Amino acid sequence: MKIPELYSYFKDKGMSEGNKEEYSWIHEPQKVFKLSEREQINIIQNDLINKNGKSIPFTYGNQRYVSISSVKEATKTSEVEKKIKQ
């Protein structure tokens, strides 16, 4: 869809003009990011555990940003975590 078509769509749904406060993002410029192609990586075993000895997800408690090279080289989540802390 092009911008005029999107605007018409939102207007038809009652999401513009009359409801400017709730849908103010419609009238503001937005950034668009083009993602790269999907990267093939190895299977990474989750070996992280909490203080009670139970398995926990790698992203437990906070969002993680990891370089693709760190993920490609790792075979366990603990290896990725070490690279983040370096």
Per the CB < 8 A criterion, the answer to whether 39 and 72 are in contact is yes
Look up the domain containing 50 and give its range. Answer: 36-86
Provide the sign of the torsion angle of the four alpha carbons 64, 65, 71, 73, taken in this order.
negative
* For residue 52, pLDDT beyond 90: yes
Residues 29-47: tens digit of each pLDDT: 777 777 888 878 888 899 9
Do 51 and 80 fall into the same domain? Answer: yes
Which comes out higher in pLDDT, residue 31 or 15?
31
| Residue 54: pLDDT band with limits 50, 70, 90 | very high
Do 24 and 41 fall into the same domain? Answer: no
Q: H or E element: which one contains 8?
A: helix 3-12
Taking the complete model, does pTM exceed 0.85, yes or no?
Answer: no
Do 42 and 9 fall into the same domain? Answer: no
Q: Using CA atoms, how far apart are residues 65 and 68, in angstroms rounded to an integer?
A: 9
Q: Using CA atoms, how far apart are residues 66 and 62, in angstroms rounded to an integer?
A: 13
Do 14 and 51 fall into the same domain? Answer: no
Do 2 and 27 fall into the same domain? Answer: yes
Average the pLDDT over 75-79 and give the result: 90
Do 57 and 81 fall into the same domain? Answer: yes
What pLDDT sits at residue 19?
A: 54
Q: How many helices (H) and strands (E) does the chain have?
A: 3, 0
What pLDDT sits at residue 20?
A: 54
